[in-house]
Amino acid sequence: MYDIIIIGAGPAGLTAAIYGTRARKKVLVLEANAYGGQIINTLDIENYPATPHINGFDFATNCYNQALELGAEIKIEKAINIIDGDIKKVITKDNEYKCKSIIIATGCGIRKLGIDREDELIGKGISYCATCDGAFFKNKDVAVVGGGNTALEDALYLSDIVKKVYVIHRRDTFRGEDKSIEELKDKSNVEFIYNSNVTKLIGSDYLEGIEVTDKDSNTRKIDASALFVAIGRIPENANFTKIINVDSTGYINALEDCKTNVEGIFVAGDARVKTLRQLVTATSDGAIAATNAIKYINRM
């Protein structure tokens, strides 16, 4: 039996593992895919204190190795259910693990456009990661859809690689940082398309263009070899909503103490209700959740 089971091996989960093992607790981390979460797609981290200009993959690998060296056990298994009790259980497809406390650090997944042929063209012009796939479209025309920081950062990154970037947003103002907006406006190869949505994907085997429809129902065809979708994230909490309270958008209800409605179950990182989802707040949550889990176990 484990003291703490952490669901998710992103920055929040791995930080929780570091804190848990340093407190001499037996810690298991369950990760459905690969360690690191969304941060592994970040080309350059420059806003994490004392660690300027490190790429996301290296940062995540450092966290992963640190957790392992301290004694955490990490398994690639997807948690599909949790069962509460004095001794709690985490259920995966093939196993059942018992523990004293649980930290949910599942983060968020990509939000898709939800239009015809989107899934069919993934990897054939449709991408959700500019830093992963941007180099494939060197000197070509591409489009980015979204209005937050991710979309703006993607467009900035791509503007140094591709021939032209169309930035498509459904509103007339962006939610992202003013600095990024101003930098994009200074780029000669960036065109903004406001009050518009991508309504059609054009091309047979590969993406060749997109159709954009504005608020007045006027349509425009744009030749583009790639469409980078950055319209937000979806919390990965669906498997736990039978016992854990979430808000209307699926984020787990928890305050800064990272405590859920169930005693002994905590949440850390982007999966919870919060106003700022950044690397620094994810690691902070991991430390707080683990510290409170340790206090809970020590009172048992």
Asked if the model's pLDDT at residue 44 lies above 80, the reply is no
For residue 91, the tally of other CB atoms under 10 A from its CB is 16
Per-residue pLDDT tens over the stretch 84-127: 999 999 999 999 999 999 999 999 988 999 999 999 999 899 99
2-110+233-299 — its CATH code? 3.50.50.60
HSE-CB of 240 using CA atoms within 13 angstroms: 34
Confidence at residue 47, expressed as pLDDT on a 0 to 100 scale: 85
Q: Hey, what are 264's tokens?
A: 């002994």
pLDDT-derived band of residue 39, with 50, 70 and 90 as boundaries? confident
pLDDT given at position 59:
95
In degrees and rounded to multiples of 5, residue 142 shows phi and psi of -135, 170
pLDDT for the residue 181: 92
Contact call for residues 272 and 258 (beta carbons, < 8 A):
yes
**Residue 158 in contact with residue 165, Cβ under 8 Å?**
yes
Question: Residues of CATH 3.50.50.60 domain(s) within the chain?
Answer: 2-110+233-299, 126-229
pLDDT number for residue 45 = 82
- Check residue 213 and give its pLDDT: 97
Sequence letter at residue 218: N
Q: How confident is the model at residue 51 (pLDDT cuts 50, 70, 90)?
A: confident
Spatial distance between the Cα atoms of 20 and 287, rounded to a whole number of angstroms: 9
Per-residue confidence at 282, pLDDT binned at 50, 70, 90?
Answer: very high
Condensed to tens digits (0 to 9), the pLDDT of residues 178-228 reads 989 999 999 999 999 999 999 999 999 999 999 999 999 999 999 999 999
Structure confidence by residue, pLDDT tens digits, 138-189? 999 999 999 998 899 999 999 999 999 999 999 999 988 898 999 999 999 9
- How many Å apart are CA 256 and CA 75, to the nearest integer? 28
What is the amino acid identity at position 254? Answer: A
Query: Which pLDDT does position 166 carry in this prediction?
Result: 98
Distance in angstroms (rounded) separating the CA atoms of residues 47 and 216:
40
* pLDDT given at position 258: 98
Residue of 44, 116, 132, 247 marked catalytic = 132
The model's confidence at residue 7, banded by pLDDT at 50, 70 and 90, is very high
For residues 221 and 195, the answer to whether their CB atoms sit within 8 Å is no
Length of the chain: 300
Per-residue model confidence (pLDDT) at position 102: 98
Answer whether residue 80 shows pLDDT above 80: yes
What are the tokens at 284? 């902070």
Tell me, yes or no, if 257 is annotated catalytic: no
pLDDT score for 36: 93
Distance between CA atoms of residues 212 and 222, nearest Å: 8
Residue 132 has pLDDT above 90, yes or no: no
SS (HEC) of the chain: CEEEEEECCCHHHHHHHHHHHHCCCCEEEEECCCCCHHHHHCCCECCCCCCCCECHHHHHHHHHHHHHHHCCEEEECCEEEEECCCCEEEEECCCEEEEEEEEECCCEEECCCCCCCCCCCECCCEECCHHHHHHHHCCCEEEEECCCHHHHHHHHHHHCCCCEEEEECCCCCCCCCHHHHHHHHCCCCEEEECCEEEEEEECCCCCCEEEEEECCCCEEEEECCEEEECCCEEECCHHHCCCCCECCCCCECCCCCCECCCCCEEECHHHECCCCCCHHHHHHHHHHHHHHHHHHHHHC
Dihedral of CA atoms 164, 165, 171, 174 in degrees, nearest 10, equals -120
Q: Percent of the chain having pLDDT more than 90?
A: 86
Residue 131 confidence (pLDDT): 81
Spell out the CATH class of 126-229.
Answer: alpha beta
Percentage of the chain lying above the pLDDT 70 cut: 100
**Is 133 one of the catalytic residues?**
yes
* Amino acid at the residue 117: R
The reported pLDDT for the residue numbered 42 is 75
Q: Is 132 a catalytic residue?
A: yes
Selection from 101, 109, 97 nearest residue 16 by Cα: 101
pLDDT at 260: 98
Q: Which of 3, 133, 270, 285 is catalytic?
A: 133
Band (pLDDT 50/70/90 cuts) for residue 60 is very high
* pLDDT of res. 38: 82
Write out pLDDT tens, residues 229-275. 999 889 999 999 999 999 999 999 999 999 999 999 999 999 999 98
